[in-house]
Structure formats: structure tokens, C-alpha cells
A and B are shown apart, each in its own frame.
Chain A
Amino acid sequence: MIIAPASLQTAAERRIEDGARLVWIFADCVESQTVLHYVVEQDGQLLDLAGPLYDSARALSQRIPAADWYERELAERFGIKLDGLPKHRPLTKIVPAQQLLDVESSEVSTVLYGPVRSGIVESARWIVETGGEDFIDVYPSMFFKHRGLEERFVGLPIELAPFVAEHASGATASSHAAAFARAAERAMGIEVPDRARATRAVLVELERIHQHLDSLAKLAEDGSLSVGSAQVFAAKERIHRLLCDATGNRFARGVICVGGTRGDVLEPLRETCARDLDLAEHHARTAVDRLIRTQSFMDRLIGTGRLEADLITRYGAVGPVARGSGVSSDVRTRDGFLYTPLAAEEAIEYNGDAVSRALVRVAEIQRSFQLARNALDANPTGPHFVRPSITNGAAIARVESPQGELLYFVRIADGVLARVAIRSASYANWPLFVPSLPGNIFTDFSFIEHSFGAVQAEVDR
């Protein structure tokens, strides 16, 4: 929907006041004219409010916290003037350590946590102000891993672009490739065959299983539950082996393409799953069941990193983070692309702490096995691929990735990609990490971090 520049922000604001959720703000540049997009979700439907930007626009973040990171990124990275944007420490620009350590008060010490941290973790920095054990304030400093991924798409032919999307987050490559492919297909007005949809559904569900297992195993590791974490990691490994057997890559990369899938992957998936899926499910289920029945471990999570439902709504969080606080947010119940909609079958927990988020993941693992089986059993016949006829256009599409709602904006001009923008679930959830910390102590940090299960690569892009 194209809206005149003067009323663009007002139009977005009015819808949000009427109960719509702010999903995304991003900028595009069409024929050297900057265009701002405000994406909101109203009654389960996405609405893209777009309009040209002249000189400057009004910032929304003072009244709508969900706009905060999007607007800061627009201002810092694209130099877009936003009136009334609160002054912050930079989010995307790296400030030299010396500058950050100028502390006025001697009671508070500033700790720079990252970008190189202990263990096998992705690089990110948290600037922590602490009085000893308690968190006083925390500032995120992101984009250490900024590779220029969105820029890498520009000028690429459509058929090679899913490989770039898979680099946005290698561990959730199927979700990214599916979201990109769906946006491109919409932009060109293509319907993919049912067989390709079923294949994509299987891959995305299996991906959800291995990523949820990864997140649970890391929590167990944080709780020094070595055997528990080893068993859950072993269950994850079984899914990777199954995917490698069927698709040739342990993360099923290189399968999803615009127009369907590369090669008929459903047949090998059916073969491999008929052989191995039951065993994989058995191991995943028994390991995870034991985990949530281990009281010493669960005690560590109870009340940790609590987020009220109100906070979730105001910040626009998605995925297991939102569902752990009782807020419905599952693309699968709204869009019928990969799946037939699941008629309000969402895993919801209400306590909003690390336990709730873990329990949501546990329930989703079980459900994902079921969804993968449904798609395998449906086994739609017909082609797995239709060759797209490349036409110009633009569209937004979304997929429920393991971290939550993942959106891609794709604009095709002159037969190649002109702009691709990514709104990852991790990006939508990270702003809530800071409000989840007060009241917790320093050693809770990694528990809360892993209960979010974010992928830094898809935040920094």
C-alpha cells in the first residue's frame, strides 16, 4: 500500500494503536528515491505501508518500542534522518573499547562482554554495567559480524540467490531459503507445485527439531549437566545424519530454490525417514523428557529471564520467546504456504521464563516430527519444480523459522535482484534480551541467552 509521505508514520501508528503489531521497518531505494516500508500485522495478515522519504521522517520508537532497533539501524547505517529518535549508544557501529570504559561513578563498573567470548559462540558484544552481582544496565553492540549480506544479493540472477540466503544463517538455512524463495515467487506471481511445498515443509520442520535440540543442549551445558547435554546433542546429530543421507548436506543446504526444489528430494527423504525417523524421534523424546524431569536443572531455569506478555507485545517479539510468555505468534497458523494452517495448534506457555521457553521448544519438537510425517505421508505427486519466468516485481513473504517469524523482502528489476531485505526472528527478539536481565544475577546471563536461541549471523547479516 503506497501512502503519502506526510501521513505514512501516522498511518502505521494508527494501526498499531488499533491493535496491529509492528513487524518491521526497512528502507529501499528505487531509482535513487528512498522508500520507507512499515510492515504491520493486522488480524493475522501482513500489511506493507510504503511511502517515499523526503529529507526526514518522524521516529516512532518513543511511543512504540518495537520500532527502536529498526529506526536505530536506519539512522546509523543508512543515514536516514529520523526526528525525535532518542540518543543511544550506537547499536551497529563499533565503538573503541577505551571510549566505553569512561565511567563516572565508582560504584558501577562497566564490563565489555565480547565480541570474543568463551566457548564456541558467535561474536557479539554486550556492554554490561554492574554493581557486582546484579545487572544495572546492559547495552547491546552488534554488527561485529556484518558481512554485507543484503548487498551481496544485488544484481544476482534469481536462481543463484537462495545460496546467499542460506548464508544469512547457515544453521537455519532451509527457513531462509524458503522465505527468500517464497518472496521471489510472490514477486513474480508463481505458484510452486505441491510436491515442492511438502519437501520444504519437511526440511523446515526437521530444521526446527535440530535447532530446538541445539538450544536445549546448550541450556543443559550451562547447567553443567554433561551427560544430559551430550545426549541431547547426540539426538541433534541423528537429525543431521538423516538430512545428510537424503539431501547431501547436514543442514539440507542447496535444496530449496525459486520455483520448487533442486531435484526431487522428497523421495530420498521418504526413504531415509522411513528408515531412521522413528529412532531419531525416540532418542530426541527420551533425552528431552529426562531433561525436563531433572529437577536440579529445571530449578536453574525457573524465574530466570522473565518476560511479561505486555513486554512481548510492545516489543513485537516472535517465536518461542513470544509463545513462552503466552503470546500467540506462529506463522504456521496464519499462512498456508508450506503447510496447511494448523488451526490454532500452537505450543503456548505462560510463565515467560527460561522454563517456559524450553517447554515451548519441547512441545514443538514433538509437533514438528508430526508435521514432517504428515508432509512425507501426503507425498503429493507431480513436478517438484516449475521454471520461473522472470518478471519484475516486489513482495514480502514469511516463514516460521526455528527462532520465529522470518521475513524477506525481494524486489526484482531488470530480471535481477535489486533489493533484498531480511527481518530475522533473532533480530526481532534481541531487543528484549536487555529487559529480561534486571533481577537476575551475572551467572544467569548464558541461561537467558541460550533460552532466546538467537543466531547472531542473521542479526548482523
Chain B
Amino acid sequence: MSWIGYGLRGGILTTKYPKGDDVMPLRYRGEVEVVRPSAQGGEAVAASCLSNAISRNDGLTRVDRLRCFQCGECTRVAPEVFQVQPHFELAMLADTPDVTFNELKKRARAFGRSVHVRHVDAGSDGSEEQELAAIFNPFYDANRLGIFLTATPRHADVLIVTGVVTKAMAEPLQRTYDAMPDPKIVIALGTSACSGGIFRGQPNVVGPVNAVLPVDVLIPGTPPSPLTILHGLWVALGHILARGVDR
């Protein structure tokens, strides 16, 4: 039997997401929810968070989604305050006034119905690359959404950057960005890329991607699941609103 016959016999594996629904398993540590923000005990947990994602202000405990690297340690230390939720739609728009839903939509219109993505690794742990590659496997098949990989920045519409930006990678990253034609969209993929993660403030890194480039969309996760990445791309292309965003 040919490869094609073999492939066809496997049937359709592909998710309907983002046009239809999909879910992550119940145990998936997508997002930490603070179920009792005013409860005491948050301080002790905040001190043990490796990426300083937990803050306590005005008697309220908050978790910074961009810093949380989904280890779930807080939910074990203080289960009465923190709970993990299997949410996977975690992408956010950059916190700058010129990045809005309408602005992204306008830029994406210029790309037509085929969007070409260029990836640069600025200092990842290697798993973000594998999850990004996974969106092209038969279970997710990003090609069906008109999303394609391109080898050259000259053809690229979207730049996806993984990892915290190391000192040596800042210049190659900037040059890749400069080589892309306008309009373009920049996505920071993974907690380290969004906020620096556990490497924030370390002497060998420059910082998160937005320390070097104007980032439009942030997709947190260590690593983000393929569904999270599809959601992030859909947000970046102005098809859907990021959760909790009204601009």
C-alpha cells in the first residue's frame, strides 16, 4: 500500500478548532486561577514562585499569566487559594495602545487568505519549537487555516519568536525583523518570550521579546500547547478577540 493510501486509511484526525470547539484534558495545567484572592497565605506562596508570577496588592492575590510557567507549585502549596484550570486560550494582545483588534485585522487583511510565518529561536528550551512544529501535524493542520511556514523573512507576514532573548540573539533577531516587509505581525511564543519567565533579570539575557521588537501578541505557556498556538495565531490575525480584551 502506498503512503497516500496509508495516510487516507487513518481517517480525519484534525481538530475543528479555532472555527469549531476543542478542549484540553481536565488535568491540563493551562492557567492558574486565584479562587480566593483575599485569603491569607498568598505571601508565602508568592515567595516560592520561581518566576515571581504571584503578586499581592491591596490585600488581593493575583497571578500574572505572562510570567506563570505552569509548574502548578502554588496550587500544591496553597490549594485553597490557587487552582489550575485547563484553559488553553491564553493569548493576549500586547499592552500598548497601538495594538488593537482592529489594527491587527487591518494588517492581516493585507496578507489575504494565506499567511506566511517565519520562526526565530531567541533562546528557547527546545520544546516551544516542537509545539510550534506540531501545529502542522495532522491533528492540528494549520495549513487548512491558510497558515504556512516560510524559510525566508522576505516572504514572511508573521514573525514568531520563541525563548527569552539572549545577548547573542538580539542582533540576529532584529535583522530578521528588519528583513520582513511591512505590514507585519510579531508574536512572542512561550512564557520565556512573553516575560522572560524564570530567566527574567538574569545577566546573560536581554529580556523578553518586547525588549528588542514591538510585539503584537503574546502566547504564554511552557511550552504553549498547539491549541494555544492556534488560538494565538487566530487572535493575531484579527479573527477573534483575545479573552478579556475589548480593544
Contact = CB atoms under 8 A, between A and B. Distances in A.
Contact of B29 (A167, A246, A248): A248
A387 B110 CA distance: 58
Contacts, number: 182
Interface string B57-94: 00000000000011111001000000010000000000
A294 B119 CA distance: 31
A284 interface: no
Contacts of B134: 233, 236-237, 240
A254 B203 CA distance: 25
Nearest to A458: B126
Given A160-B50, A170-B222, A230-B137, A120 B149 contact: yes
Interface stretch (A146-154, A185-193, A353-361): A146-154
Contact of A160 (B48, B123, B133, B205): B48
Interface stretch (B100-108, B162-170, B237-245): B162-170
Contact of A168 (B125, B132, B205): B125
A122 B120 CA distance: 8
Interface stretch (B20-28, B37-45, B209-217): B20-28
A167 B152 contact: no
Contacts of A151: 202-204
Chain B CB within 10 Å — which of A228, A253, A458 has the most? A253
B205 A148 contact: yes
A145 interface: yes
Contacts of A230: 7, 137-138
Interface in B1-56: 3-4, 6-7, 10, 13, 24-25, 27-29, 48, 50
Given A160-B48, A250-B225, A120 B204 contact: no
B27 A245 contact: yes
B29 A163 contact: no
A361 to B, nearest CB: 16
A455 interface: yes
Nearest to A235: B137
Contact of A227 (B6, B48, B192, B197): B6
A250 B28 CA distance: 8
A146 B139 contact: no
B114 interface: no
B116 to A, nearest CB: 13
B226 to A, nearest CB: 8
A118 B151 contact: yes
B124 A118 contact: no
A294 B3 contact: yes
B3 A227 contact: yes
Given A116-B176, A455-B126, A234 B138 contact: yes
B125 A170 contact: yes
B130 A214 contact: yes
Contacts of B27: 244-248, 268
Contacts of A247: 27
Contacts of A166: 125
Interface in A221-263: 225, 227-228, 230-231, 233-234, 236-237, 240-241, 244-251, 253-254, 262-263
Nearest to B160: A120
Contacts of B151: 118-119
Contacts of A89: none
B180 to A, nearest CB: 12
Contacts of B3: 225, 227-228, 231, 290, 294
Contact of B73 (A144, A160, A168): A160
Nearest to B48: A160
Contact of A116 (B50, B164, B172, B203): B172
A118 to B, nearest CB: 3
A144 B202 contact: no
Contacts of A294: 3
B126 A122 contact: yes
Interface string B134-150: 10111100000000010
B71 A457 contact: no
A120 B119 contact: yes
Interface of B: 3-4, 6-7, 10, 13, 24-25, 27-29, 48, 50, 69-73, 76, 84, 119-134, 136-139, 149, 151-152, 163-164, 166, 168-169, 172-173, 175-176, 192, 197-199, 202-205, 222-223, 225
Top 10 A-B pairs, shortest CB-CB distance = A170-B127, A118-B151, A170-B125, A148-B204, A233-B137, A457-B126, A227-B3, A248-B27, A248-B29, A227-B7
Interface of A: 94, 115-116, 118-123, 143-148, 151-152, 156-157, 160, 163-164, 166-173, 214, 225, 227-228, 230-231, 233-234, 236-237, 240-241, 244-251, 253-254, 262-263, 268, 286, 290, 294, 455-458
25 contacts: A122-B121, A123-B120, A143-B168, A144-B168, A144-B169, A148-B202, A148-B205, A152-B199, A160-B73, A164-B198, A168-B125, A171-B125, A171-B126, A172-B126, A214-B130, A231-B3, A244-B28, A248-B25, A249-B28, A250-B131, A254-B71, A290-B3, A290-B6, A457-B126, A458-B126
Given A115-B172, A145-B163, 20 more contacts: A120-B119, A120-B149, A122-B121, A122-B129, A123-B169, A144-B168, A144-B169, A145-B169, A147-B199, A148-B205, A152-B202, A160-B48, A160-B73, A166-B125, A169-B126, A173-B127, A230-B137, A231-B6, A244-B28, A294-B3
